[in-house]
Amino acid sequence: MSYRQIKISVFSAICGFLLLFPLRINSSARLAPPRDPREGILDASLVSIDETLAQIARQALRLPNGVPIIRLEKSRFALGESVFFWVGVEGASRDPIPKEYQNTCHLIVTRPDGTSKTEPVGWPVDGMVDRGWLGGAGIGSSETQLGRYTLVFEFAGQRTEPVSLFVEDLPIVKRIKAEFVFSRARDGLASPDENVTLMVRNNSDQMLRFPLPGGDNSLVSVSLSKSDRSYQSAFFYPPGSLSGVEKTSAISFDTYTWDVASQTPSITIRPGETYRREMPLRAALVEAAKGLSVRPGRYDVTFSTTLQILIGEKDGEWSEISTVRIPVSATAACVINR
């Protein structure tokens, strides 16, 4: 029998032994002392294989030390708003969550028409990455259907109990019009030295409230990209370029509620009113230039935000659907000459 055959045969025997007696993988038993140099090489090779398999077995026995969680802030959503909920992993103890389980998170969404999709959910890259976490998730506004959605979150082969939410056609939300408007030159392009204006029109019969746009708790995102894709940048609009941000409250929040509204600068719009918030485009271009040199040329500029709106009063007829998250986005082309 050749050396290669001996090596394969012994390796197969070890694997069979490990399958029958997995708890003895760290046994102190060793082969007999080698009789010649070639047998010594074979013995060393087998010890190395034994140690590798032992390490794999130890890792396989590590428990995930966490369970998946999913939480809804509300179960009723309006067609046209961003469907928002929380998913995450809750640690079972103070011990760390093994890294090998961090790529096992999936969100399973069953749509009203019965079809379903499974999407991977990334593990947070900041903070204490070996601990439990909670993050915002959604179902994607481009494919929202009317009716019932069922959600399940998975981690390390464990799944949450299914939870349900409903997307409804609520006319009152359609009466809230929000948009970004670019000031344009005669050629139709956005003027770098003019404003981008956030406009919110309240065509409903209810009072609307939302946090001051552009502040720390209501950030406005900006993206800048060149037509040939040679330059791309994304960042938040600098709050210091907006009026009123110096009055922003020190409190922070994930969800805007009636209790939060009384503690942070808020905008109130009565029925029939329109709110305007002007943002100099030049301030965004200067911010973009900080990270990477912006060369002269034609660029697409996108402003976007999500307005968290309270409709009516705390105990009113629309309290069950508040907070309503309304996405706002607009893109315009502009020419940068310097």
Rounded Cα distance between 28 and 24, Å, is 9
What per-residue confidence (pLDDT) applies to 7? 41
What per-residue confidence (pLDDT) applies to 262? 85
DSSP 184: B
Question: For the segment 1-23, what is each residue's pLDDT rounded down to a tens digit?
Answer: 444 444 444 344 444 444 433 43
Which segments of the chain have a pLDDT < 50?
Answer: 1-33
How many other C-beta atoms can be found within 10 angstroms of the C-beta atom of residue 333? 15
Quick one: 193 exposed, middle or buried, by C-beta within 10 A (0-12, 13-18, 19+)? Answer: exposed
What per-residue confidence (pLDDT) applies to 249? 55
User: What percentage of the chain reaches a pLDDT higher than 70?
Assistant: 78
**HEC profile for 114-176?**
CCEEEEECCCCCCCCCCCCEEEEECCCHHHCCCEEEEEEEEECCEECCCEEEEEECCHHHHCE
What per-residue confidence (pLDDT) applies to 8? 43
What per-residue confidence (pLDDT) applies to 227? 75
How is 63-90 classified by DSSP, letter by letter? ---EEEEEE-S-SEEETTSPP-EEEEEE
Q: What is the pTM of this model?
A: 0.75
Contact 217, 211 (CB under 8 A): yes
Contact 196, 183 (CB under 8 A): yes
Contact 184, 196 (CB under 8 A): no
Contact 277, 243 (CB under 8 A): no
Contact 44, 51 (CB under 8 A): no
Rounded Cα distance between 314 and 322, Å, is 9
